Homo-oligomer: A and B are copies of this chain.
Amino acid sequence: MFENKDSENTSISSLGEFGLIDHLTKHFKIQNKTTVKGIGDDAAVLDPEEGKQLVVTTDMLVEGVHFDLSYMPLKHLGYKAVMVNLSDVYAMNALPSQITVSIAVSNRFPVEALEELYAGITTACEHYKVDVIGGDTTSSTTGLVISISAIGTVSEEKITYRNGAKENDLLVVTGDLGAAYLGLQILEREKQVFKVNPNAQPDLEPYSYLVERQLKPEARKDIPLLLSELDVKPTSMIDISDGLSSEVIHLCKSSNVGCNLYEDKIPLDPQVIATCEEFKMDSTTIALSGGEDYELLFTVSTKDFPKIKANPHLTVIGHMTHEKEGMHLITRANTKIPIIARGWNALTEED
């Protein structure tokens, strides 16, 4: 993809390290009044709002591990790398305000490729009103590595940890699950087809939602605002990018509670159901273990049920139990099976 060294490509070395950073970051605009100084000094300077707490999170994406440039356009990759971090900020019921972006890149990438990556980062920051306040651009011996840290703000009253879920609280998930994982399967399949027949024209139309969820996920910036409007303070909250089952376990263990999760309540998009049938996959397994959905999982007191029940963005999928009862999936056949974490990319199985 970047092997064609045609004359319109600019080599990274022609700009030099400082020139490259200037070139890539000059378009960033400051949108938040808490950002006193962005890029251009030894460190960025923030002036936090009085009475607000800050949340800080960081994620690293590695080529060949987290993304494959043969089907992930660099612009989308830049956008997604920001989303991965913002999702963690929203999971604290906070609003993101600043990010730093560090990139290691081999010189097989022309400057134009990095421009694409930064265009995606810029678009994400504009949409989510986040300032890029710093970063580092360095060479890599092989692939591309992107490390982003995000900072957000929230009042102490609203901040939501993983450890506040109580027995009988309702378990709620935003959006729908499993689509991002299936999107990846579709893209992998098309890559194999392309290898055999480079002239094949893939028809991705029946899978458009799945592919979009994989290539251009959105973090749930609407959820902290919605919760505020509904006057609901979740008792606990977590981002479920690693898969529903593994995050249910984190929430339960952090809060010292158990839970019953109802298979028939798990929200699935029609494309997920249709594609699972086509691939002969179990949609519940995909929803539980697929990952990369960037939805939020939270618990609310039963007294808040009337406030959330009619909302199209929120689905009650279960309730918390006493810790001794353990964590279970209640299947459509009304059998009770223990929930285990089995992310598709996990190095091992946890229980």
* CB-defined contacts of A9 to chain B, threshold 8 Å: none
Instruction: State the oligomeric state as a number of copies.
Output: 2
Asked if residues B41 and A102 are in contact (CB atoms below 8 Å), the reply is no
Contact with B along A8-52 (1 / 0, CB 8 A): 000011111111100000000000000011001111111110100
User: Which residues A55-114 have CB closer than 8 A to chain B?
Assistant: 55-60, 62-66, 88-89, 91-92, 94, 98, 100, 102-104
Q: Which of A121-129, A142-150, A170-178, A226-234 contacts B (4 or more CB under 8 A)?
A: A142-150
For A14, A19, A102, which residue has the most chain B Cβ atoms within 10 angstroms?
A102
Number of interface residues, chain A, beta carbon within 8 A: 74
**Chain B residues, CB < 8 A from A331:** none
- Report whether B45 and A92 are in contact in the complex, using a CB–CB cutoff of 8 Å: yes
Is A53 engaged at the interface, CB distance under 8 Å to the other chain?
Answer: yes
* CB nearest to A85 among chain B residues: B43
Considering the complex, give the chain B residue whose CB is closest to the CB of A91. Answer: B42
Which A residues from 129 to 175 make CB contacts under 8 A with B? 133-136, 138-143, 145, 147, 149-152, 156, 159, 161-163
Residue A192 interfacial (CB < 8 Å): no
Could you list 20 A-B pairs, sorted by A, with CB under 8 Å?
Answer: A13-B348, A16-B349, A18-B350, A42-B55, A42-B237, A42-B239, A45-B56, A48-B54, A54-B54, A58-B100, A58-B135, A60-B104, A60-B147, A62-B104, A65-B104, A65-B140, A66-B138, A100-B149, A142-B143, A145-B145
Which 5 pairs from chain A and chain B are nearest by CB? Answer: A147-B147, A16-B348, A43-B57, A42-B91, A43-B55
A contact residues vs B (CB 8 Å cutoff): 12-20, 36-37, 40-48, 50, 53-60, 62-66, 88-89, 91-92, 94, 98, 100, 102-104, 133-136, 138-143, 145, 147, 149-152, 156, 159, 161-163, 237-239, 254, 346-350
